[in-house]
Amino acid sequence: MVGYAFMGAAHSQAWRTAPRFFDLPLAPRMRVLAGRDPGAVKAAAERLGWEQTVTGWPELLDRDDVDLVDICTPGHTHAEIAIAALDAGKHVLCEKPLANTLAEAEAMVAAAERAAARGVRSMVGFTYRRVPAVQLARQLVADGRLGEIRHVRVQYLQDWLVDPQAPLTWRLDKQLAGSGALGDIGSHAVDLAQFVTGQALTGVAAALETFVTERPYPAGGPTGGLVAAPGDTTGPVTVDDAAVFLARLSGGGLGVFEATRFATGRKNALRIEVSGSAGSLAFDFEDMNVLQFFDGQDDVQGFRRVLVTEPQHPYIAAWWPAGHGLGYEHAFTHQVVDLVGAIAAGTDPAPSFADGLAVQRVLDAVERSAADDSRWTAVG
Amino acid sequence: MVGYAFMGAAHSQAWRTAPRFFDLPLAPRMRVLAGRDPGAVKAAAERLGWEQTVTGWPELLDRDDVDLVDICTPGHTHAEIAIAALDAGKHVLCEKPLANTLAEAEAMVAAAERAAARGVRSMVGFTYRRVPAVQLARQLVADGRLGEIRHVRVQYLQDWLVDPQAPLTWRLDKQLAGSGALGDIGSHAVDLAQFVTGQALTGVAAALETFVTERPYPAGGPTGGLVAAPGDTTGPVTVDDAAVFLARLSGGGLGVFEATRFATGRKNALRIEVSGSAGSLAFDFEDMNVLQFFDGQDDVQGFRRVLVTEPQHPYIAAWWPAGHGLGYEHAFTHQVVDLVGAIAAGTDPAPSFADGLAVQRVLDAVERSAADDSRWTAVG
Amino acid sequence: MVGYAFMGAAHSQAWRTAPRFFDLPLAPRMRVLAGRDPGAVKAAAERLGWEQTVTGWPELLDRDDVDLVDICTPGHTHAEIAIAALDAGKHVLCEKPLANTLAEAEAMVAAAERAAARGVRSMVGFTYRRVPAVQLARQLVADGRLGEIRHVRVQYLQDWLVDPQAPLTWRLDKQLAGSGALGDIGSHAVDLAQFVTGQALTGVAAALETFVTERPYPAGGPTGGLVAAPGDTTGPVTVDDAAVFLARLSGGGLGVFEATRFATGRKNALRIEVSGSAGSLAFDFEDMNVLQFFDGQDDVQGFRRVLVTEPQHPYIAAWWPAGHGLGYEHAFTHQVVDLVGAIAAGTDPAPSFADGLAVQRVLDAVERSAADDSRWTAVG
Amino acid sequence: MVGYAFMGAAHSQAWRTAPRFFDLPLAPRMRVLAGRDPGAVKAAAERLGWEQTVTGWPELLDRDDVDLVDICTPGHTHAEIAIAALDAGKHVLCEKPLANTLAEAEAMVAAAERAAARGVRSMVGFTYRRVPAVQLARQLVADGRLGEIRHVRVQYLQDWLVDPQAPLTWRLDKQLAGSGALGDIGSHAVDLAQFVTGQALTGVAAALETFVTERPYPAGGPTGGLVAAPGDTTGPVTVDDAAVFLARLSGGGLGVFEATRFATGRKNALRIEVSGSAGSLAFDFEDMNVLQFFDGQDDVQGFRRVLVTEPQHPYIAAWWPAGHGLGYEHAFTHQVVDLVGAIAAGTDPAPSFADGLAVQRVLDAVERSAADDSRWTAVG
């Protein structure tokens, strides 16, 4: 595994937990953790449960005891690591966003295709797909229970930047982060919509906004690659605080999207509501074990609050009895389960790098539309 | 009163009920109902409780015993009646939308201004403003409890056109109805956003959609002004089924709007969520006695589910004890209370015709943007 | 009508409104209001819309233009008025509780039976039965959609006595009010359970509690029949603040009941949850337009949030389009509709005085059990 | 660890996970798993991650490399193992219920007290206390935010026995299980109420019910210690399906309790609602990351939906960012954290065996009351 921050912790817990609850066809071993700072990476390996450490990710590629590289670093490093790993014959799990630029993402997809031809697998980490309620949503759409999709309304609402004194970090710098709310959480919103509906977004009309354009550097000065001019205690925010856009689905439906870090009181509200000709559904990650489902066939109609914790629901049989909810990191465990299953079965796991690229193309169209007076902009 | 369909029933109930629960400074009498068909208008008057009937609205203007004209007819008739009534010195309550065209709406505002100079009052019927929870929302924003407004997300979701066999009525004809979901329910969404935030929408980027472009005429043939070509059993839908748009508030916040008649399972879900720098709120008319309020000052934070039924809440003291909810038509009673109060006090009631025009200007910008590739379009 | 306080206002609004929305087979006229104080009753009649007034209810019985007597006075007066009215051949609508004592209630039932034999009808005002969601609940149970009833859990939660400085009124005096939360709101809870399940409560084990035993008289001194010893500024609370009891249904199910005026934050939360062998339902009057329904037959299971506002739902077709909710007083209008319908049809309306007596018998068993160490006590 | 079924899996995951997210003062090692069947225990150890196995729990007590015994076996075995382990100087974590009889529980408390005097710690597994929302509830009560507690209403609702063909297992046999819903889930309800309020239940009035008295043995015949008469395909249910009781709190408040396996549609609804003189709160485990809190001090009042996922909330800082919910097994991890912390600090962890005994005493009083015509029965 490369990287050991927030995502590294989630991935480690998943690798450790998956074989304890699921019958995996292969037994994963948490072999080597890679990071630049020798002391820090050793400490992280001990805490997160990795056997060994290296201080450069390229070392992983030469080792025979490494079959898979799990990339948990910031987005601008993904392309280089993933392409090298795939070309070295290592399976790759890469955190989202696939890359910070379209060109990088395209190169990664090309590498993934080359690798797949040799039986080497790749996957991008849109974990929200693997929340059981989201899987059930997808199944209901795929089974035709919603009929033709007329509308999706998707929001990813957080509030951690509401305070104008919240410090300037690398996530607010365009060079380092690529974009702001759009790439960080808007990418999840787009993938979720495309996954649940089984359709692509074909065009968008968008607006981006930065509400607070100048923020203080953290006490102690800039970190994580940020550089301040001498004497500066504040610096510019160069990414979007919020992104809103209209979209069209390939099946003709209309989409409305919003991603923001300024929705006071909403902590991690990734929400989707889908209106179809035969039924509807709604999901909010802040209530992640629940799917709302409206079936137009019912004689007594109402949105059903489905507590997605029953053995017949996706992934649940491996866990607890009905009514014993799952949490955030369980989706990462499911990701491991599906990835390991695909590797063993010799099939390509989803979401693929191509799926990741599809999301990037939407984000790119959003940025182009926003820069062009919100004019309707085709994706891709 | 002119007109006696759905809105006529709601207005009649309001005129009858207001003096029973509120101390009105003037005693309204339900004097004359106007309608074209003598038999139908007589029957309606009896059912709705009007003393007399006339078969032409102009007759109302000559009568000394008519002080106020309440216009409940379709939108394309509003301008003529309202202007004539105001010029005749009658106070006017006009249902929304103010008019079907900007030009008509502007003429109505001019008439209202002329009238106001002579102490004659006018008001447009955006009744959702008078739901107690909405009034409370406005108060909280006005009191600064939300801080700077960063986002509004507004939806008006209905589902009565989901069935492609739902019949073609005048509401689906552009000549008669002006527009579809946009004007009928999108207008409420816009007024609600402008009222609650106290800000104007200054620009939009929009898309309109008609999902079902051909529908059967009703059994028995076209009604309400529709004309079918000989032998035709179906006809074209010439208005939008759904409207979506991005918007900018005068204070710099971002808005996302959706109005649709294709949201399966949502019956009358007029929803608004406002995110401010200091707090947030959310409202859904399907749960009309409740306002969700998040106060960033709380030590233990969470959206409060405020049951807006307590004596200190707007309008409630006149009704029932705490916890005894109100229904849809109560807002019409509040409208009468406020209108009669303003007339007696010699002040101009709100929402004014100018407020109605402001909404029309937004709808017009939406239509222009949608026709121009969703390009950002200034309002007004 | 006799009495013109809170209930008088609700009944008046119902008599006035019913013929405007429903096709009644008879046309009610709001003829005479009876009350003791000539000035007060005149003012009330004007405000509530009654044509004439009298200062003694017996006068109503001699009038040929009075066909029905609507009793909205406190409970200890019900028996005398209702029996006299029925014996005089007047139909009677009597507010709940039917009476303050079992003996009175039994005499009223006897009078009602005598009257019914002569075609004179009687009804007791358990209006919560006529909330559309409650009617739908009853239909689902009657249709077997819940199977065998295993559990009912019923709560009626209010909080208006939480403040120990809330003044001592007649409602807190045993002589005048009969009991406290038990009779006032517990009676609704019992009737609701019996109505929805279609079963009787056959036995109870109960406890009563008075949390605040001494309260200040209102500023200005005791009112409404209360008498204070000279110089006393506070007086004793002689009724229960809260009542809790276990119960058995005639079909074998278990019930758990709670009625309290000390549930901080709950304003008028009359809640019922019914668990059956085939399905379940839940209702809370604080969300009165909604019925939660769980159908064990569903392939994708979850409680449906049924917005009971559609034309096919009970009473709704007479009102507004789907999604336009009703309020508290609509149930009173439905009561008038059903009562007038029964009178015209020559049938006995429900809930009958016998239904009211059945509730009284449960309350009596509760009081006996509470006084006997909570021992299980048969009803009746 | 002794036992490796449902609870064994939850405990193993907790031991494995705690040191990865929390800074523990001691490093737990998952040394030995004990079970009777050599093959089964070996397989379980491998799946659950234990280093070694033994086939008799007494072997654990002789080992120097075992400092703590974690008891996950059925209730009737708890006393023997726990007392022996404590007397052998091993710390003990014992699953609930503490024991199947009062006498056993009392002996366990005595052993715990002896052990504590020697610095040996013991704890009983009421894990629901360690859900962050429940901890926050306790804090709010302890901080006086609710004032005097007037009411608790507590329910533990499941539905896995609704089907009369659900098979007869050891859990439905009084000899093996002690009691039914009462001991299995009612014990959680009682502990939760006592923990959150900080008060003891002092008396109860109760009823027990078995709705389905005869059930089929599992295909393949009785298991888990059950014995069938020759040729019998069905056997008797000898425990309660449901338990309901009234209770009194030591502070004078009233409690209403219900535990059932027949609440169709409720999967694991452990709910508590507390009404105090200054505020109220509500919790439902089916929405386990949320606490409803009503603060009577608010100027705009309503139950706050507190999403208990923020760094300042109990236990959360060790996990994920705000809005990323936890699941069922996280409470077991918190249990390990608190237990290890107490051992290292040399303090007695809670809930103690005495707390477990306090719950048993309440259950005992419930059974005595139910057997005595629901008569009020003092606890202890």
- Read off the pLDDT of residues B11-62 as tens digits, 9 standing for 90 and up: 999 999 999 999 999 999 999 999 999 999 999 999 999 999 999 999 999 9
Cross-strand partners of B124: B94
- The yes-or-no verdict on residue A196 having pLDDT over 90 is yes
CB of A306 less than 8 A from some CB of C: yes
Please tell me the distance from the alpha carbon of residue D245 to that of residue C206, in angstroms, as a whole number.
Answer: 10
- C267: closest chain D residue by CA: D302
Inter-chain residue contact D244 with C246, CB threshold 8 Å: yes
Question: Residue D150: what pLDDT?
Answer: 98
How far D143 CA lies from chain C's nearest CA (Å)?
A: 17
- CATH assignment, D130-371: 3.30.360.10
SS (H, E, C) chain C: CECCCHHHHHHHHHHHHHHHHCCCCCCCCCCEEECCCHHHHHHHHHHHCCCEEECCCHHHHCCCCCCEEEECCCHHHHHHHHHHHHHCCCEEEEECCCCCCHHHHHHHHHHHHHHHHCCCCEEEECHHHHCHHHHHHHHHHHCCCCCCEEEEEEEEECCCCCCCCCCCCHHHCHHHHCCCHHHHHHHHHHHHHHHHHCCCEEEEEEEEECCCCEEECCCCCCCCCCCCCCCCCEEECCCCCEEEEEEEECCCCEEEEEEECCCCCCCCEEEEEEEECCEEEEEEHHHCCEEEEEECCCCCCCEEEEECCCCCCCCHHHCCCCCCCCCCCHHHHHHHHHHHHHHHHCCCCCCCHHHHHHHHHHHHHHHHHHHCCCCCEECC
- Read off the pLDDT of residues B272-295 as tens digits, 9 standing for 90 and up: 999 999 999 999 999 999 999 999
Inter-chain residue contact D258 with C294, CB threshold 8 Å: no
- Read off the pLDDT of residues D306-360 as tens digits, 9 standing for 90 and up: 999 999 999 999 999 999 999 999 999 999 999 999 999 999 999 999 999 999 9
Match 């992640």 to its residue by tokens.
Answer: A288
Inter-chain residue contact C254 with D244, CB threshold 8 Å: yes
Inter-chain residue contact A306 with C302, CB threshold 8 Å: yes
Q: In chain C, which residues fall in CATH 3.30.360.10?
A: 130-371
What is chain B's percent helix, strand, coil content, to nearest 5? 35, 25, 40
Inter-chain residue contact D307 with A267, CB threshold 8 Å: yes
Please tell me the distance from the alpha carbon of residue B91 to that of residue B72, in angstroms, as a whole number.
Answer: 14
- The yes-or-no verdict on residue A334 having pLDDT over 90 is yes
Question: Residue A296: what pLDDT?
Answer: 97
Inter-chain residue contact B285 with C47, CB threshold 8 Å: no
- The yes-or-no verdict on residue D208 having pLDDT over 90 is yes
- The yes-or-no verdict on residue B224 having pLDDT over 80 is no
Inter-chain residue contact D13 with A6, CB threshold 8 Å: no
Cross-strand partners of C236: C214
Question: Residue A223: what pLDDT?
Answer: 82
Q: Which residues of chain C have pLDDT under 70?
A: none
- B140: closest chain D residue by CA: D300
A6-21 helix and A38-48 helix, angle to the nearest 10 degrees: 30
Chain D positions in Cβ-Cβ contact with residue B298 (cut-off 8 Å): 304
Determine the residue among A285, A319, A328 to mutate to test chain D binding: the one whose Cβ has the most chain D Cβ atoms within 10 Å.
A328
What share of chain D has pLDDT > 70, as a percent?
100
- Nearest beta carbon to residue D305 from set B136, B302, B307: B302
CB of D303 less than 8 A from some CB of B: yes
CB of C293 less than 8 A from some CB of A: yes
Chain D positions in Cβ-Cβ contact with residue C256 (cut-off 8 Å): 244, 256, 258
- The yes-or-no verdict on residue A224 having pLDDT over 80 is no
Joined together, the tokens standing for residue D333 give 């991890």
Q: In chain A, which residues fall in CATH 3.40.50.720?
A: 7-127
How far C307 CA lies from chain A's nearest CA (Å)?
A: 7
How far D374 CA lies from chain A's nearest CA (Å)?
A: 31
Residue A16 — φ and ψ, nearest 5°?
-75, -35
Please tell me the distance from the alpha carbon of residue C18 to that of residue C334, in angstroms, as a whole number.
Answer: 7
Within 149-168 of D, beta carbons closer than 8 Å to C belong to 150-151, 153, 155, 157, 159, 162, 164
Cis peptide preceding D351, ω within 30 of 0: yes
- CA A19 vs CA A29, A169, B244, B310, C178: distances in Å: 10, 36, 46, 55, 66
- Nearest beta carbon to residue C302 from set A300, A301, A305: A305
| Element of type H or E holding A377 | strand A377-378
Q: Band of the pLDDT at D223, cuts 50, 70, 90?
A: confident
Inter-chain residue contact B280 with A262, CB threshold 8 Å: no
CB of A47 less than 8 A from some CB of D: yes
- Nearest beta carbon to residue D13 from set A20, A267, A290: A20
Q: Band of the pLDDT at A230, cuts 50, 70, 90?
A: confident
CB of C93 less than 8 A from some CB of D: no
Question: Residue C286: what pLDDT?
Answer: 97
Determine the residue among C143, C281, C300 to mutate to test chain A binding: the one whose Cβ has the most chain A Cβ atoms within 10 Å.
C300
Inter-chain residue contact B264 with A277, CB threshold 8 Å: yes
Chain C positions in Cβ-Cβ contact with residue D303 (cut-off 8 Å): 265
User: How confident is the model over B114-142, as a mean pLDDT?
Assistant: 97
Chain B positions in Cβ-Cβ contact with residue C10 (cut-off 8 Å): 320
How far B304 CA lies from chain D's nearest CA (Å)?
A: 4
Determine the residue among A151, A272, A280 to mutate to test chain B binding: the one whose Cβ has the most chain B Cβ atoms within 10 Å.
A151
- The yes-or-no verdict on residue B380 having pLDDT over 90 is no
Question: Residue C280: what pLDDT?
Answer: 98
Question: Residue B4: what pLDDT?
Answer: 87
Please tell me the distance from the alpha carbon of residue B28 to that of residue B91, in angstroms, as a whole number.
Answer: 13
- To the nearest 10°, the Cα dihedral for A29, A30, A34, A40? -160
- Read off the pLDDT of residues D185-206 as tens digits, 9 standing for 90 and up: 999 999 999 999 999 999 999 9
Touching chains, B (3+ CB pairs < 8 A): A, C, D
A111 in helix, strand or coil?
helix
Question: Residue D241: what pLDDT?
Answer: 98
Question: Residue C129: what pLDDT?
Answer: 97
Question: Residue D74: what pLDDT?
Answer: 87
- Nearest beta carbon to residue A305 from set C136, C295, C303: C303
Question: Residue A220: what pLDDT?
Answer: 83
Inter-chain residue contact A9 with D16, CB threshold 8 Å: no
- Read off the pLDDT of residues B152-174 as tens digits, 9 standing for 90 and up: 999 999 999 999 999 999 899 99
ipTM of the complex: 0.95
- Read off the pLDDT of residues A36-75 as tens digits, 9 standing for 90 and up: 999 999 999 999 999 999 999 999 999 999 999 999 998 8
Task: Select from 3.40.50.2300, 3.30.70.890, 3.40.50.720, 3.20.20.450 the CATH code of C7-127.
Answer: 3.40.50.720
- The yes-or-no verdict on residue D224 having pLDDT over 80 is no
- Read off the pLDDT of residues A270-292 as tens digits, 9 standing for 90 and up: 999 999 999 999 999 999 999 99
- Nearest beta carbon to residue B325 from set C12, C320, C327: C327
Q: Band of the pLDDT at B219, cuts 50, 70, 90?
A: confident
